[in-house]
Every structure is written in structure tokens, then in C-alpha cells.
Amino acid sequence: MAPTSTPQTPFGRVLTAMVTPFTADGALDLDGAQRLATHLVDAGNDGLIINGTTGESPTTSDAEKSDLVRAVLEAVGDRAHVVAGVGTNDTHHSIELAREAERVGAHGLLVVTPYYNKPPQEGLYRHFTAVADTTGLPVMLYDIPGRSGVPINTETLVRLAEHPRIVANKDAKGDLGRASWAIARSGLAWYSGDDMLNLPLLSVGAVGFVSVVGHVVTPDLRALVDAFVSGDVQKATEIHQKLLPVYTGMFRTQGVMTTKAALALQGLPAGPLRAPMVECAPEEIEQLKIDLAAGGVQL
């Protein structure tokens, strides 16, 4: 396990939700995944989320997910937290994925809110606790109502925080008021899941980030959180403002599309996307170049 784990920062402070590299014919590129994971950890990430949304998890098989976690662990598991995304909208399937992630050696689990079937809060509570009961691994919840259709209400987060292995939440609600209350009442380690709100969420008690733009600006994110934690809010604000074009540019369309385009521009492993995702159009790539350059990213 990486040495940066504390009760306050169980997965460190800066994590990137890593894309899944594919070969030109669409197969899993395990060598590319190892090279990309090494690059991201060398850049300053405390951990990597594997098989998350940005990892195109809806279109990878269970076997591919397992192989990917194993490969990334082999590459960086002695230096960084390798957190496996295991959430689905089927509790039984999520339990199976959690058991397999533990079997291959993952350091933690990311469990997204069940999507599409829109369970009530009691259903969410039972789902998350069932997955957390399955393994001995620490769990990070993933609250993203824009994709799942259902938020994890503050009262539910408080209940879930009583579970000994539910230790963190990745917050992609985009609601600082609700985040403030949930952080204060739950005691969960709070990670920003919305890059534009990285600094604002730190200001209300978040401990770090699960980032998409970390693929291209991890050193800046590290500097931002380090400055904030040390009390240099002015410097943190300056870095936040410098990164605004990057935050905006990487989410003009789906983040995985722009991330893979940005990685390709830098000569890093990425490869094509799996349907129904598509590659960025030429004009989107040109705009992305402008946005990244405005934020100081060298291409």
C-alpha cells in the first residue's frame, strides 16, 4: 500500500481516474496501461482509479477489468493506491466484481451509485453496505446523480459512514451546500469528483481529488492541494485560475473522449474508444489544443 494513507486521506490526496488504453483493433492494451499508470504516478498521483467512468467500464468485460487491475498493480502497486471501480446497477454483479478485485490485489474499491433503475435511498444503503460487507477493502462511494439519476442523500451518507470499511466519497454532485453538510455530518474523507470544483471543495473540507484532468496536469493539482493544505490559499487560487481553460476544455464533450485525444497529442498510450463512445472530431481536437495551451499544457 502506498505510504500516503492516513485515516484523513485513506487514498492519498491526488488520484486520476485513468483511461483504459486499447490497441488499434480495440483490444485491451495492458502494456499501454502499465506505461500510462507509471507516467501518472511519476507525475505525482497518490493513486489511480481503474475501471471507472473514464476507464470506459460500461464497455469492458469482467475478465478485462480483472486483467487491467492486475497489470496496473504490477506496474505501480508498490507506489500508489490502485482503486478498482466495481459499481454496477446490479448488487450481485457488483459483489462479484468486488471479490475479484480483492482477489487480484486491489487496494480499495470505488462503488458508484446504481444507475438507470433509480433505487430509493434504502436501496442505495443496502447496495453499498452489501458490497462493503463482501471484502476487507476500504470503499469509496461515488455520488454522481447526473449519470446515475439518483443522488446519495446526506442522511444516507451519514448512515453509510457508520460502516467500518466505507471511508470516503467521490463527490460529483456539483452542490457545495450539500457537500458542506455531508462532510460535516458524515466524517467521510471527501474527494472532489468535479475538477472545476477542486479548490472550492477543499475550502469546505474535502481532502483531495479524483481527477480526469490529472492525465495532463497532475503536477499542478499536486501543487494546488499542497498549497492549500499548507495555508497558502492565494497560491492555490492562482493555480486554480491558471487551470480554468484546462477544466473547461477537457469537458467540452465527454471527458474520456478529450482525455484520449490529449494523451494521443502527447504521445502517451490511449488508443481508440469503444462504441458508443466516439473519437473527437478534428475541430474538437483543434479547440482542445487551444484550451490546453491556455492552461500551460505542453503538447
* Residue-by-residue DSSP string for 108-123: EEEEEPP-SS---HHH
* pLDDT level of residue 4 (50, 70, 90 thresholds): low
DSSP string, 45-71: -SEEEESSTTTTGGGS-HHHHHHHHHH
Percentage, residues of the chain above pLDDT 90: 97
- In the set 65, 125, 170, 191, the catalytic residue is 170
- In the set 65, 116, 118, 142, the catalytic residue is 142
Q: Is 191 a catalytic residue?
A: no
Please determine, for residue 253, whether its predicted confidence score (pLDDT) is greater than 90: yes
Q: Which residues of 148-177 are buried (b: 16+ CB within 10 A; e: fewer)?
A: bebbbbbebbbbbbeeebbbbbbbbbebee
How much is the average pLDDT of 12-39?
98
The alpha carbon dihedral of 127, 128, 129, 131 has a sign of positive
Percentage, residues of the chain above pLDDT 70: 99
Q: Provide the mean pLDDT of the chain.
A: 97
Q: How far is C-alpha 155 from the geometric centre of its chain's CA atoms?
A: 24
Please determine, for residue 26, whether its predicted confidence score (pLDDT) is greater than 80: yes
pLDDT of residue 19: 98
pLDDT of residue 2: 45
* pLDDT level of residue 51 (50, 70, 90 thresholds): very high
The alpha carbon dihedral of 106, 92, 209, 158 has a sign of negative
The gap between the terminal CA atoms of the chain, to the nearest Å, is: 33
pLDDT of residue 3: 45
Look up residue 141 and give its amino acid.
Answer: L
Please determine, for residue 156, whether its predicted confidence score (pLDDT) is greater than 50: yes
Q: How far is C-alpha 209 from the geometric centre of its chain's CA atoms?
A: 8
Please give the CATH architecture assigned to the domain spanning 14-234.
Answer: Alpha-Beta Barrel (3.20)
**Rounded Cα–Cα distance for residues 217 and 219 (Å):** 6
According to DSSP, residue 197 is labeled G
Q: Coil, strand or helix: which one is 14?
A: strand
**Rounded Cα–Cα distance for residues 294 and 298 (Å):** 10
How much is the average pLDDT of 158-186?
98
* pLDDT digit string, tens, across residues 68-96: 999 999 999 999 999 999 999 999 999 99
pLDDT of residue 1: 45
Q: Is 170 a catalytic residue?
A: yes
* pLDDT digit string, tens, across residues 97-107: 999 999 999 99
